[in-house]
Homo-oligomer: A and B are copies of this chain.
Amino acid sequence: MRDLGIETSGGPTRQVSDSIALGPGLVLQGTRMHFRRNEEVFGEGEAATYVYRVVSGAVRTIRFSSDGRRQILNFYFPGDIFGLECGSKHTLSAEAIGEADLSLVRRSLIDTAAKQDASAAQALIVLMQRQLQTAQDHALVLGRKGAGERVAAFLLQLADRVTAQCEIDLPMSRADIADYLALTIETVSRAFTQMERDRTIALPSSRHVVVRDRCALELLEAA
């Protein structure tokens, strides 16, 4: 893991105080850090010292299968919390997709808070439950959907997380989408092209998607 720059003040990355809301009335002080494009936040096997909250940008969590192929397990966007998905050691790695600002809180602080405040512990459990739910949804997509349906599900999922419900700015590349959906970049690209042909979406640029017919997309997902 790169130097977190918390003990060493005055590093090149600006450090702004930030906070993570854990429970009602319980807010933990965090340290803000900047990560560059494709920079690793933490790696598989490392000690899980911090929990992270996305302030700006986006983060992907990765695991590699034994033959070296990459599987993206989840994407995290501003407001999302990640890094608590494991015990003492990380079982996956996390990378900034583009330039990203994260807020860090020591796990030890969180554990202490959870011990003293039942509502904090409850909030932690709810966070874990949401993560588990997401992982199971993902398994369902990977197990039971075809290529077009996977891409449709992905777009709908993003659309629900974004303010402008029908304009999606993709922070990630086709390769990232492919590795998340367990497809190839070619298949993802073809799915986008097909949807554009069907007037379901518009693609003003490869990273900008306009949902023109949400119903058609939902129909596609269900297929």
In the complex, the answer to whether A63 meets B136 with C-beta atoms within 8 Å is yes
How many Å lie between the Cα of A91 and that of B69 in the bound state? 30
Residues of B within 8 A of A116 (CB): 118
Of all chain B residues, the one with the shortest Cβ separation from A128 is B128
Q: What's the nearest-Cβ distance from chain B to residue A176, in Å?
A: 14
How many Å lie between the Cα of A125 and that of B138 in the bound state? 21
Asked if A207 is at the interface of the complex by the 8 Å CB criterion, the answer is no
In the complex, the answer to whether A144 meets B182 with C-beta atoms within 8 Å is yes
Asked if A66 is at the interface of the complex by the 8 Å CB criterion, the answer is yes
Digitize A78-119: 1 where CB-to-B-CB distance is under 8 Å, 0 elsewhere. Answer: 000000111100011000000000000000000100111010
Contact of A140 among B65, B86, B111 (CB under 8 A): B65
- Most B Cβ at <10 Å: residue of A122, A135, A145, A222: A135
Known A136-B92, A144-B69; judge A86-B182 contact (CB<8 A): no
Asked if A129 is at the interface of the complex by the 8 Å CB criterion, the answer is yes
In the complex, the answer to whether A139 meets B71 with C-beta atoms within 8 Å is yes
Residues of B within 8 A of A66 (CB): 221-223
In the complex, the answer to whether B86 meets A144 with C-beta atoms within 8 Å is no
Q: What's the nearest-Cβ distance from chain B to residue A75, in Å?
A: 14
In the complex, the answer to whether B143 meets A71 with C-beta atoms within 8 Å is yes
Residues of B within 8 A of A166 (CB): none
Known A129-B87, A132-B85, A132-B128; judge A145-B65 contact (CB<8 A): yes
Apart from A91-B133, A128-B129, list 17 A-B contacts with CB within 8 A: A65-B145, A66-B222, A71-B140, A71-B143, A73-B136, A84-B129, A85-B132, A114-B118, A115-B121, A124-B125, A125-B125, A135-B135, A139-B142, A142-B142, A142-B182, A143-B182, A144-B182
Q: Using a CB–CB distance below 8 Å, which chain A residues touch chain B?
A: 63, 65-67, 69, 71, 73, 84-87, 91-92, 111, 114-116, 118, 121-122, 124-126, 128-129, 131-133, 135-136, 138-140, 142-145, 182, 221-223
Top 5 A-B residue pairs of the complex, sorted by shortest distance between their CB atoms: A143-B182, A66-B222, A135-B135, A115-B118, A121-B121
